[in-house]
Structure 1
Amino acid sequence: MNPWLPAAPCTPRACAGHDGPSRSRPRAVGLLCAGCALLVAGALCAPFALLLGPSWRERLIRRWSHAIVRAFGVRVRVTGDPVPPRPAPGKPGTLVVANHVSWLDIPLVAAALPGRMLAKREIGNWPLLGRLAAAGGTLFVERDRLRALPGTVCEIAAVLRTGSRVVAFPEGTTWCGRGGGRFGPAVFQAAIDAKAEVRPIRIGYRSGPPRTSGHGGPVRRPGGPGPAQRAAPAGAAAFVGDDPLTASLWRVVRSAGLTAEIHLLPPMPAGDRSDRRTLARLAQTAVASDSANRPPESVHH
């Protein structure tokens, strides 16, 4: 089986619904236009952002990515361990791994831990988004060519050795948030080869009253969410199966009260592991158990 091409049992009909309050059509159209306008602005400004120093560029990416999620009407809440400083020269970077629920995951992760995304090569051919992804240093994977896997692992390891941060969704496809798929081990081999640390994070979406910091920005808490605060699945954000992107965009902007929650888990030194499968399983278990004390297997099984 090709590790880049897993299949999820989630479908738009079964998983992508919203039972909370809805926005009016004019308000939803306004949010949709605002979000798309920010995407266009990002694509146009990307070449100029490359002229900035690393710290200023990372700060800009964080603010722009947070603004993207907010522009589509979704609140942002960040919890967990603090974001570490950039590694010293000569030190390897970090492999950030997360569960995958929605297209919103990409700007959400970038709002907390911006890095070079790992994505399927087809995205590079998308209008606007493909250009934006390429300008952001996305590492494109040929998912239908198993022979390309060793070369891709070597490329990721080389990027990590430069001290850069690489972001991957090892499930290989999106799940609705009620459980998830198996973390593929291939990308973890790159972290082992580069002796880089692995930073697991948990992404969740929920409906309900907002918990904001009082100034409109993302809420940061030093610890993890308690049992009553854990994110429940919010189907409106799920982008699964053969769901068209346009349908998903409209569902998100029509759904009032959506909050995107990202929880930063403690880093795991990959250099202490020699087995990529063990490392993948440890990261998967950390992400799954942090969410709802469930085993990593999907609830659809």
Structure 2
Amino acid sequence: MVEYEREPSMHDPQAALAPAAPLERERVRRSVFRAAFLAPLLLFALLPMGLVHLVLTRSPVASHRYLIPRWWYRFALRVVGMRVIREGRLTKDRPLLTLSNHVSWTDILVLGAHVPGCFVAKADMADWPGVGFLTRFTRSIFVKRDDRRNVGEQAREIGDRLRHGEPVILFPEGTTAAGTSLKPFKSSLLGAVRLARPAEDGAMTIQPVALAYVRRGGKPMDERERRDYAAWIDDEEFAPHLTSVLFGKPLTVRLIFGEPFDVGPDADRKRLTRTAEETIGTLLQKGLAEG
């Protein structure tokens, strides 16, 4: 339940501030509880979950392979205090490539909790302390986008996941943005996915998704607040942003599933990239407008 502070009175400013103080103390108390109790519990739970996860990854049912990671992502959303408003649903069509805009590391929690699939991640993430273990635990595919020697191997791994019925989640911007507009989509990323699928595999389904960070503490964010509190740009330090999310006012994000569409093996990657960019841009602006 979202709590709102009362508007200050012009006649008695000191009295008007009184109701806000207990609400702020309660918010901080909840944040400290999440950080002090739930966060360690989330980490310690990785060991028993990992053992079950090893068994489930061998399941012939694709959705079973991501059952434990999805549970972990949903718990993580509680730890950071994020609220997700979902619009639409993930298609049941397979093979499936899910394309989304990219605002912050929290995108991974939101999408991972609702899409039983794997992320395509930058190779250097595998070496990040803590994060590298988590990305491997959640079966991410690591790619070196500037290493052409490994393009074939990386593409084959993507193709294997798609052929085995696992949705693949890709951020076509290739990096994070401020959350109010999109950076140009990279057609090379979609080209790698096309390379992963031989012509005899037939059509593939693409579903565009938009993540719109709309509120902080239950109140609408403007463009500056969205950049300062929701977005995490690549060259920023991780720890300060993590602290801001944990102890700051809770964020609300709209997760908007667009209409899926099929593409054949001969689809033009540049035209496909433009279509995806326009579709996700429209969904993003719709989500921001609805607040």
TM-score (ref. length: structure 2): 0.75
Query: Is 1:43–1:128's contact at 8 Å kept on the other side of the alignment?
Result: no
Residues 265 and 231 (structure 1), Cα distance of their counterparts in 2 relative to 1, 3 Å cut: farther
Query: Is 1:97–1:168's contact at 8 Å kept on the other side of the alignment?
Result: yes
Q: Aligned partner of 2:33: which letter?
A: G
Q: Does 1:170 align with 2:172?
A: yes
Three-state SS of the structure 2 residue aligned to 1:274 is coil
Query: Is 1:202–1:264's contact at 8 Å kept on the other side of the alignment?
Result: yes
Decide which of 97, 100, 103 is 2:99's aligned counterpart: 97
Q: Does 1:32 align with 2:39?
A: no
Instruction: Name structure 1 gaps, 5 residues minimum.
Output: 1-20, 212-228, 295-301
How do 1:237-256 residues align onto structure 2 when only pairs under 5 Å count? 237-256=230-249
Distance 2:270 2:47 in 1: 37
Query: Is 2:213–2:254's contact at 8 Å kept on the other side of the alignment?
Result: yes
Query: Is 2:95–2:167's contact at 8 Å kept on the other side of the alignment?
Result: yes
| Count of residues in correspondence between the two structures | 251
Residues 273 and 177 (structure 1), Cα distance of their counterparts in 2 relative to 1, 3 Å cut: farther
- After TM superposition, give the deviation of residue 114 of structure 1 in Å: 2.4
- After TM superposition, give the deviation of residue 200 of structure 1 in Å: 1.0
Q: Aligned partner of 1:278: which letter?
A: R
Query: Is 1:96–1:201's contact at 8 Å kept on the other side of the alignment?
Result: yes
Bigger mean CA offset, 47-56 vs 135-144: 47-56
Decide which of 261, 265, 270 is 2:263's aligned counterpart: 270
Residue 281 of structure 2 aligns with which residue? 288
Residues 57 and 157 (structure 1), Cα distance of their counterparts in 2 relative to 1, 3 Å cut: closer
Query: Is 1:123–1:130's contact at 8 Å kept on the other side of the alignment?
Result: yes
Distance 2:192 2:44 in 1: 33
**1:63-88: CA deviation from partner (whole Å, max 9, x where unpaired):** 331221121011111112x2233x5x
Query: Is 1:46–1:132's contact at 8 Å kept on the other side of the alignment?
Result: no
Distance 2:123 2:265 in 1: 31
Query: Is 2:178–2:233's contact at 8 Å kept on the other side of the alignment?
Result: yes
Residue 150 of structure 2 aligns with which residue? 148
- After TM superposition, give the deviation of residue 124 of structure 1 in Å: 1.2
Distance 1:22 1:51 in 2: 44
- After TM superposition, give the deviation of residue 208 of structure 1 in Å: 5.1
Query: Is 2:50–2:137's contact at 8 Å kept on the other side of the alignment?
Result: yes
Q: Aligned partner of 2:54: which letter?
A: L
Which one has a bigger Cα radius of gyration?
2
Residues 134 and 128 (structure 1), Cα distance of their counterparts in 2 relative to 1, 3 Å cut: same
Residues 209 and 268 (structure 1), Cα distance of their counterparts in 2 relative to 1, 3 Å cut: same
Query: Is 1:231–1:261's contact at 8 Å kept on the other side of the alignment?
Result: no
Residue 234 of structure 1 aligns with which residue? 226
Query: Is 1:99–1:287's contact at 8 Å kept on the other side of the alignment?
Result: yes
Bigger mean CA offset, 269-278 vs 39-48: 39-48
Query: Is 2:79–2:246's contact at 8 Å kept on the other side of the alignment?
Result: no
TM-score (ref. length: structure 1): 0.73
Three-state SS of the structure 1 residue aligned to 2:252 is strand
Distance 2:128 2:40 in 1: 14
RMSD of aligned residue pairs (Cα, Å): 3.0
Q: Aligned partner of 1:35: which letter?
A: A
Bigger mean CA offset, 48-57 vs 103-112: 48-57
Residue 62 of structure 1 aligns with which residue? 70
Residue 202 of structure 1 aligns with which residue? 210
Decide which of 78, 84, 89 is 2:91's aligned counterpart: 84
Residue 74 of structure 1 aligns with which residue? 82
Residue 3 of structure 2 aligns with which residue? none
Residue 46 of structure 1 aligns with which residue? 50
Query: Is 1:98–1:203's contact at 8 Å kept on the other side of the alignment?
Result: yes
Query: Is 1:43–1:131's contact at 8 Å kept on the other side of the alignment?
Result: no
Query: Is 2:96–2:166's contact at 8 Å kept on the other side of the alignment?
Result: yes
Q: Aligned partner of 1:46: which letter?
A: G
Three-state SS of the structure 2 residue aligned to 1:260 is strand
Three-state SS of the structure 2 residue aligned to 1:292 is helix
Bigger mean CA offset, 233-242 vs 21-30: 21-30
Q: Aligned partner of 1:32: which letter?
A: A
- After TM superposition, give the deviation of residue 44 of structure 1 in Å: 5.1
Residues 241 and 61 (structure 1), Cα distance of their counterparts in 2 relative to 1, 3 Å cut: closer
Instruction: Name structure 2 gaps, 5 residues minimum.
Output: 1-22, 198-202
- After TM superposition, give the deviation of residue 270 of structure 1 in Å: 1.9
